[in-house]
Every structure is written in C-alpha cells, then in structure tokens.
C-alpha cells in the first residue's frame, strides 16, 4: 500500500484499539512519554525483559509504534528509565515506612513486617525486582540503579540503627525475603521478630 493512500480522505486507520471515543489529536498528550515508561514496566512484569518489544509496549501504552523510536533511543534506554523509575519507587516506599516510625521498637516492628509480609502480597514486584537485578548483573554500567536503591535503604535504616547494623539488617531483609518467596514453606519456621531483634542486638550500639 503506497503512502499516497493515506493522504486521501481516509479518516484514520489506527492500529491500536482506541479505548475512549475521544479524537485526541496530537500534541495534546504531554505525559505520553511517562505513560510509555509505565507501560514498559507492565510489559516487563508480564512478559519479562525477554518478551518486551516495542510493539507490545506501544499497545500497552496505547501509543503508535513510531512513538517508541521517537521518544527513546532504543529498548535499552527505555528499560533503563523504567527500572530507574521502579527502583526509585521501591526505595521511596521503604524510606517512607522508615520515616513513619519514631522509636527503635517501632522500627524493629516495621522491619519484621517488611520481611514477613512484603513479598507475599505482590508477585509483580518480586518479578520486577529480579528482572532489575538480572539487568544490573549483566551490565555493570547499570548497577548505579541497584547501588542507589541499596544505599537509600541503608540510609533509611540508619535513622534508627548504627551503620553496621543497618547494613546487616538490609542484607537480612534481602536474604530472608528472597528465600521466603522462592521457598515458601521451609521445614523450620523462623521466629522473624525474635531474629530481627537479635540481629539488631549484635552491634550493641546506640542509635538516634
């Protein structure tokens, strides 16, 4: 089909199904770029980085295929931006939780809650987290993302614990969370609150 066909009176043959009937002319959608990044995360969560293509993201974001190469250098840049957004959202949430408690006791409870409940609730975040880790594992230049995330967690924990303890608790959250997700029913149940308290007691140090 030569391009002259469209220059005639054909109203608009859109490939993507338009959800609303609004005509939505051009240049009136300034957060298109943002929507694409969000849609990219959805696609990654569903199909994995392996199955993430320009076309799938375009459909998910309800934008034309051409927007993909227009707004982004390529899949790599898009993935980097998407993971950047994801990791920032995750560490923001963690910081908020830690900022919401005041006493050390409450902080310990919060850590316990994170370990016990966090991963069970949301499979999407489990998947995205590991997609991000894998992405960073393969390309050292993107480890800034994971480094920032981990640094932010430690910083948040340091509001309540000394640096060494914060580092240890952070690692414990990581390890216990992963093992809980991938091996939900180990033979030996762990008394998470007690463990967290005892880890925090290893470095018998004061905290703000």
Query: Are the C-beta atoms of residues 63 and 28 closer than 8 Å to each other?
Result: no
Instruction: Tell me, residue by residue from 44 to 83, as one string, x for binding to a second copy by CB under 8 A and - for no binding.
Output: ----xxx---------------------------------
If binding is defined by CB under 8 A, does position 173 make contact with a second copy? yes
C-alpha pair distances (Å), 180 with each of 123, 172, 183? 12, 12, 5
Q: Work out how close the CB of 196 gets to a second copy at its nearest, in angstroms, rounded to a whole number.
A: 11
Q: Work out how close the CB of 135 gets to DNA at its nearest, in angstroms, rounded to a whole number.
A: 15
Query: Are the C-beta atoms of residues 165 and 200 closer than 8 Å to each other?
Result: yes
Q: Which is nearer to a second copy, 52 or 67 (CB)?
A: 52
If binding is defined by CB under 7 A, does position 50 make contact with DNA? no
C-alpha pair distances (Å), 85 with each of 29, 79, 82, 187? 20, 10, 5, 37
Q: Work out how close the CB of 177 gets to a second copy at its nearest, in angstroms, rounded to a whole number.
A: 8
Q: Work out how close the CB of 36 gets to a second copy at its nearest, in angstroms, rounded to a whole number.
A: 19
* Residue bearing tokens 């008394």: 191
Which listed option, a second copy, DNA, none, makes contact with residue 204 (CB within 5 to 8 Å by class)?
none
C-alpha pair distances (Å), 8 with each of 5, 12, 74? 6, 11, 32
Q: Work out how close the CB of 182 gets to a second copy at its nearest, in angstroms, rounded to a whole number.
A: 4
Tell the burial category of 201 from Cβ atoms under 10 Å away from its Cβ (0-12, 13-18, 19+).
exposed
Q: Work out how close the CB of 201 gets to a second copy at its nearest, in angstroms, rounded to a whole number.
A: 9
Angle in degrees, 0-180, between the axes of helices 163-182 and 104-121, rounded to the nearest 10: 30
- Among 38, 45, 49, 56, which residue interacts with DNA (rule: CB under 7 A)? 56
If binding is defined by CB under 7 A, does position 53 make contact with DNA? yes
Instruction: Tell me, residue by residue from 4 to 23, as one string, x for binding to DNA by CB under 7 A and - for no binding.
Output: xxxx----xxxx--------
If binding is defined by CB under 8 A, does position 136 make contact with a second copy? yes
SS3 string of 79-108?
HHHHHHHHHHHHHHHHHHHHHHCCCHHHHH
Q: Which is nearer to DNA, 77 or 122 (CB)?
A: 77
Interaction site with DNA (CB under 7 A): 1-7, 12-15, 25-29, 32, 53-56, 63-70, 74-75
């Amino acid at each position: 089909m030569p391009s002259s066909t469209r220059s005639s009176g054909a109203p608009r043959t859109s490939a993507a199904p338009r959800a609303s009937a609004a005509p939505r002319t051009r240049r009136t959608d300034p957060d298109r770029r943002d929507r694409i990044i969000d849609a990219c995360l959805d696609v990654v969560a569903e199909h994995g980085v392996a199955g993430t293509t320009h076309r799938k993201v375009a459909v998910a974001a309800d934008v034309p295929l051409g927007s993909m190469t227009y707004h982004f250098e390529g899949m790599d840049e898009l993935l980097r931006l998407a993971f950047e957004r994801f990791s920032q959202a995750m560490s923001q949430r963690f910081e908020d939780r830690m900022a919401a408690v005041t006493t050390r006791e409450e902080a310990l409870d919060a850590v316990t809650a994170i370990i016990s409940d966090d991963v069970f609730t949301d499979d999407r975040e489990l998947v995205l987290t590991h997609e991000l880790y894998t992405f960073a594992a393969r390309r050292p230049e993107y480890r800034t993302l994971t480094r920032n995330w981990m640094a932010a967690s430690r910083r948040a924990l340091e509001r309540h614990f000394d640096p060494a303890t914060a580092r240890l608790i952070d690692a414990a959250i990581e390890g216990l969370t992963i093992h809980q997700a991938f091996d939900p029913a180990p033979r030996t149940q762990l008394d998470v609150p007690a463990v967290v308290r005892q880890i925090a007691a290893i470095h018998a140090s004061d905290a703000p």
